[in-house]
Structure 1
Amino acid sequence: MEILSRINGPEDVKKLNQEERTALAVDIRAAVLNKVSKNGGHVGPNLGTVELTIAFHYVFDSPTDKIVWDVSHQSYPHKILTGRKSAFLEEDTFSTVSGYTSQDESQHDFFKIGHTSTSISLAVGLAKGRDLKQEKGNVAALIGDGSLSGGLAFEALNNAAELGSNLIVIVNDNEMSIDENFGGLYRTLAELRETQGQSENNLFKSLGLDYRYIEEGNDVESMIAAFEAVKDIDHPIVLHVHTEKGHGYDHAVADKGLYHWRPPFDLESGEGLNSSNQQSYSGVVVEHLMAEIAAGNTKLAAINAAIPGMFDLPQLKEKHPAHYFDVGIAEAHSVSFAAGLAKNGIRPVLFHSSYFLPRAYDQLSHDLAVNQLPAVIIVGNGHVNESDITHQGIFDIPMINSIPNIKYLAPTNKEELLAMVKWALVQTEGPVAIRLPAGEVISKDTAFLDYSQARYDIQKAGEKVAILALGSYLSLGKEVYQRLTDQLDISPTLINPLFITDLDKNCLEGLKQEHSLVITLEDGSLTGGFGETIAAFYGDSAMKVLNFGATKEFTDNVPMEELAERYRLTPEAIVAEVKKHI
């Protein structure tokens, strides 16, 4: 770390000679691996952009010259060179920086970015703002080849060609998305790589953009020469840079998908430190689909937008490749594609993260819901979490709740999940979304078989207080039930609602007879959510309703303990609130 110890900002990079720049790349990789191996994080994307980043800060003058990192999961080397190296070297400061860029951290970052395909649009806006203010400076957008599959990237490239002033689009082509790339675009990029950028089949030129190819993207001096050649250019240009994902760490090169993002692992062996072979809820769904296909159901299609590992889909891809479709980072397309399949008699099963599903809101509404097409949408990561500001899992319920004709279900265990999936695969009413429970897989004996009409599962019938505990929060509901029983000497009613978007009006009306207070528990944002729907139902009655869930806000790496206290999502806080109203 001798060279890195001398680097406190981009100005220090400019002082290095060629030998020192090469040594700096080694130091940066060691710093990245030090943090991600102990704390988890994006491994391969950051190891692949080390030389490119050194070259950028050697040639350009940040922050006057600006770079926007797409997704920004490859910005760790940039952070290290812009005054934040301690967060990668010293374990007690790991949490002081985000896993993504943030203007709150540094003048060298310009946006909080954690989703894909946005960098070129953002950079075009920065460049046009510069021109309107008659300022100087280069504007660069770095986007990976995987992120090019997102439609927004094409929209931005189309508009970038009309800019007429300085804009540098760096296409970081490491031949990988989060996992394997899919689509005709990648045959085009491969042809450009094979011809050193000379192929006539050039997407970027077809869009009216200047273009240059750099083969040695993991060589500092090649990248310096490339950047020096385009610095202060007076028109938009694409630099197509060939890099290696995971460069410099053999394990990450050998298994690029596994090391895209990795929980803590042993640096020498590459083995995960907290590995678990326990079954997951997504694995339960995938195993059922594989069994259906193996039994002769040829009208099933599993669809995923570039995150197969998040949903245990590689096993389905391996055993039944004809029934597996990875559309790349293209959530909107995945939903419209599913609508087309459903219209033609195929039953699509989409796997989406709550973090990224909002990118397809219009398609959920316009293509699936309006047309009432029977697709199945498996939603993962829907819960209050301590993740980055760009990866919030609390807004899927309000989003889907706002769209007519979609039924959203919330299982609490393996049997309920399987029953819902089986029903959703044969029903013909319209799209059905199923919210995977958080935590370890748990089982119970029975589950409802028909979800065509809302029917709540009354687990314990009582009086005075009714607890409606949705999905994963049924366990919290059970704790609240026990405390109310022990502390207030009452026998409350405990209900597993099962349905997020549909109301069991018979059950809710019945509660009016023996209850004066209903409390709702939901693992998501309260605004527009399940609890507000229940409160609205009781709005013209004497029933008091207390909603417990997340405040409508963005949080950024806030510990779960703090969030639970803030949102009153502890049994103690809920019981204390109930006491005030009885």
Structure 2
Amino acid sequence: MEEPYKPEPGKLLKDIYVPSDLKKLKPEQLQQVCDELREFIIDMVSVHGGHFGASLGVIELTVALHYTYNTPDDKIIWDVGHQAYGHKILTGRREEFHTNRKYQGLSGFPKRSESEYDTFGVGHSSTSISAGLGMAIARDLDKSDKKVVSVIGDGAMTGGMAFEALNNAGALESDMLVVLNDNNMSIDPNVGALKEYLAEITTSKTFNKMRDEIYDLLGHFKSAGDKMRKVASKLERAMTAAITPGALFQALGFKYYGPVDGHNVDALRRHLEDLRTVSGPKLLHIVTVKGKGFAPAEREQTKWHAQSSPFDKITGQPLSASQRSTSQPPKYQDVFGDALVELAEENEDIVAITPAMPSGSSLWPMMNRFPNRAFDVGIAEQHAVTFAAGLATQGKKAFAALYSTFLQRGYDQVIHDVAVQNLPVVFCIDRAGLVGADGPTHHGLYDISYLRALPNMVVSSPMNEQELRDMLYAASKYNNAAWAVRYPRGRSTGMDVRKEFRDVELGKGRIIADGEKVAILSFGPIGNYVLDARTELQKEGITPGHFDMRFAKPLDTELIDHVLSNYDKIITIEDGTKLGGFGSAVAEYVAEQGVAVPVKIMGVPDRIVEHGTQRQLHDEVGIGPDGIIDEVKKAMGVLVE
């Protein structure tokens, strides 16, 4: 077996295995470490893929933090964990970093079970200040002297939870540092008033000059005793409140410092060393460039948020033939995005909402065609759902495009603001099912279960891109309840798609193929594995029936009755948790009929599934074609090896 590519670390980096090794260096050597660390990440990702721009933007901060603080005793919590590649490499995982995001390899995000340096698991955003405050209060209760640093950036400050935590932390007055990594980006450019607020700070020449003078003054007063330092600190707070929007953080109870250049490692080190001696809640505002040090990533930050295929580490040009191919089927998200524009052309009441994912959810076509009817609300899923509900109360047809894993963050609003009020919001649920290399924080496994439990909610999933287009059309005309349409990450089937839309009858599935003895009821694109499995089974004279159910709620009970009358056993399959999902719905109905037809539920088991390719994970949990073949044979009484 060929050895995986491992780039050679630089002269200084090769001897840094843990932060204590970094601390052996002189301060003037840290810039070289940064350069070598940045080059190592570019080398690695150019071959193996992974998140990219965010980690390049915090190289200097990462080095300065681990040089200044005594990790792992001191706690560093990373928000939106794709910033943490440099952190992982400096904390004992350089030799294994080629396995990053690969099956059974390192996670692409900080993970507590992976390293003692990963203090908190972070795949989603806006959690670091809350978690950091919890650690700080625990430290206070234990009467220890650990330091706590929460690094929040890449758009995470637009999440409401971050401000809830700031408000609480300021009131509790526990000693902690928040580093605001201000790069004006999440995956797409940041939006909203906060973006303008921070921009005003960073471009105010008057404030910057005054800030520098006050900071120098504080430095001179270090040897003059606590009383003089307190006077200088009061002067700083008063002047800051008078002339800068940094007063927002001061009003929340934080001492504000910044903005400072996030790519000057020596300045960062000095600021961090100084702030170690300042008690209470503090916020250091640093300004960085996402993709720093790799020109293509600096120019096109959204495109270079992450890379899945090899690229030339000098030019950025793709090396993968598949990436250059124009014959690949479209991604499901793009099928959705194009269909939405077509529907919006015909229905002026259609509006679209996404929480900071116009690229990931393919809403850019809608935003470009109808800029007044498409809204990026920032990393704010709760707000996105209730915003959609408010639009729906006024007769607008709101399409809320969210990843399945992110919709979880707005679940209370789905219940209280949509379902209870019976508002016909359309939830377009992307990345449903096992998503692959992003792993457990991003798998979309629970939406069928958590939505099926709600009144006034339709739960559907297309088997292919034609059905996706038609379901969106049907949902755009349906006003009796909310309608959820779920579809997976990745490419569609490549089928020939007709241009015109056709209605999909609510709660009605379709017969793919009748058969004998065993009926397979599939929900969503996982049904394409059933097609593959059935082809192989037919070679052995085994012909199960196959039914594309389309709806987990309402169920097509007529079609299930047909199955109960003609088959001895039922197998259900879904790309979601087995608990409470589509299979459970079928089993509940069969039990209610009092019919002695066994139901085998195939889905994701009740455990955390790690990362890998989608196919690897489907096979691991037994819902790939081979797993389907085995289950059909068992149901038929055929011996399985």
TM-score band, normalised by the shorter chain?
over 0.9
SS of residue in 1 equivalent to 2:532: helix
Alpha carbons 1:3, 1:24 under 8 Å: kept: yes
- 2:306 corresponds to which residue? 261
What is the distance in 1 between the residues matched to 2:580 and 2:608? 15
What is the distance in 1 between the residues matched to 2:464 and 2:101? 38
Alpha carbons 1:35, 1:91 under 8 Å: kept: no
**Deviations for 1:481-514, whole angstroms, at most 9, x for unmatched residues?**
345544355x532211011221112222232222
Alpha carbons 1:306, 1:326 under 8 Å: kept: yes
Alpha carbons 1:142, 1:172 under 8 Å: kept: yes
What is the distance in 2 between the residues matched to 1:210 and 1:164? 11
Alpha carbons 2:48, 2:98 under 8 Å: kept: no
TM-score (norm 2): 0.86
Residue among 595, 599, 621 paired with 1:545: 599
Rate the CA distance shift 1:445–1:126 in 2: closer, same or farther, 3 A: closer
**Structure 1 segment 3-402 matched on structure 2, within 5 A:** 3-88=12-97, 96-144=105-153, 146-195=155-204, 196=208, 198=240, 199-201=243-245, 202-264=247-309, 265-272=311-318, 273=320, 274-275=322-323, 277=326, 278=328, 279-295=330-346, 297-387=347-437, 388-402=439-453
What is the distance in 2 between the residues matched to 1:365 and 1:94? 36
- 1:473 corresponds to which residue? 526
Shift of residue 361 of structure 1? 0.8
Alpha carbons 2:461, 2:485 under 8 Å: kept: yes
Residue among 513, 530, 549 paired with 2:565: 513
What is the distance in 1 between the residues matched to 2:519 and 2:564? 10
Identity rate, percent: 34
**Deviations for 1:14-61, whole angstroms, at most 9, x for unmatched residues?**
222244211111100011112211122121110111111111111111
Matched, 1:564 2:619: yes
SS of residue in 2 equivalent to 1:109: coil
| Greater alpha carbon shift after TM alignment, 57-66 vs 114-123 | 57-66
Shift of residue 191 of structure 1? 1.2
Rate the CA distance shift 1:484–1:177 in 2: closer, same or farther, 3 A: closer
What is the distance in 1 between the residues matched to 2:154 and 2:359? 19
**Structure 1 segment 527-538 matched on structure 2, within 5 A:** 527-538=579-590
**Structure 1 segment 427-466 matched on structure 2, within 5 A:** 427-437=478-488, 439-443=491-495, 449-451=502-504, 453-466=506-519
What is the distance in 1 between the residues matched to 2:108 and 2:534? 39
Alpha carbons 1:408, 1:500 under 8 Å: kept: yes
- 2:547 corresponds to which residue? 495
Alpha carbons 1:389, 1:556 under 8 Å: kept: yes
Over the aligned positions, Cα root-mean-square deviation in angstroms equals 2.4
Alpha carbons 1:392, 1:554 under 8 Å: kept: no
Rate the CA distance shift 1:95–1:499 in 2: closer, same or farther, 3 A: closer
Q: What amino acid maps onto 1:416 in structure 2?
A: E
SS of residue in 2 equivalent to 1:365: helix
**Deviations for 1:386-430, whole angstroms, at most 9, x for unmatched residues?**
332212122221122222211011111222111111111111112
What is the distance in 1 between the residues matched to 2:292 and 2:260? 14
Alpha carbons 1:378, 1:433 under 8 Å: kept: yes
Alpha carbons 1:410, 1:435 under 8 Å: kept: yes
Q: What amino acid maps onto 2:244 in structure 1?
A: E
Alpha carbons 2:507, 2:553 under 8 Å: kept: no
Rate the CA distance shift 1:200–1:549 in 2: closer, same or farther, 3 A: same
**Which residues of structure 2 form unaligned runs of 5+?**
1-9, 212-239
TM-score (norm 1): 0.94
| Greater alpha carbon shift after TM alignment, 370-379 vs 441-450 | 441-450
What is the distance in 1 between the residues matched to 2:332 and 2:618? 24
Query: Number of paired residues?
Result: 580
Shift of residue 517 of structure 1? 0.7
**Deviations for 1:272-322, whole angstroms, at most 9, x for unmatched residues?**
334254422222222233234445x33221211112222222233223211
What is the distance in 1 between the residues matched to 2:476 and 2:291? 40
Alpha carbons 1:35, 1:94 under 8 Å: kept: no
| Greater alpha carbon shift after TM alignment, 354-363 vs 116-125 | 354-363
Alpha carbons 2:404, 2:430 under 8 Å: kept: yes
- 1:404 corresponds to which residue? 455
Matched, 1:574 2:631: yes
Shift of residue 118 of structure 1? 0.3
**Deviations for 1:459-498, whole angstroms, at most 9, x for unmatched residues?**
2234422111221122222234345544355x53221101
| Greater alpha carbon shift after TM alignment, 91-100 vs 4-13 | 91-100
Rate the CA distance shift 1:320–1:556 in 2: closer, same or farther, 3 A: same
Rate the CA distance shift 1:452–1:562 in 2: closer, same or farther, 3 A: closer
What is the distance in 1 between the residues matched to 2:525 and 2:159? 32
What is the distance in 2 between the residues matched to 1:525 and 1:185? 37
Alpha carbons 2:465, 2:497 under 8 Å: kept: no
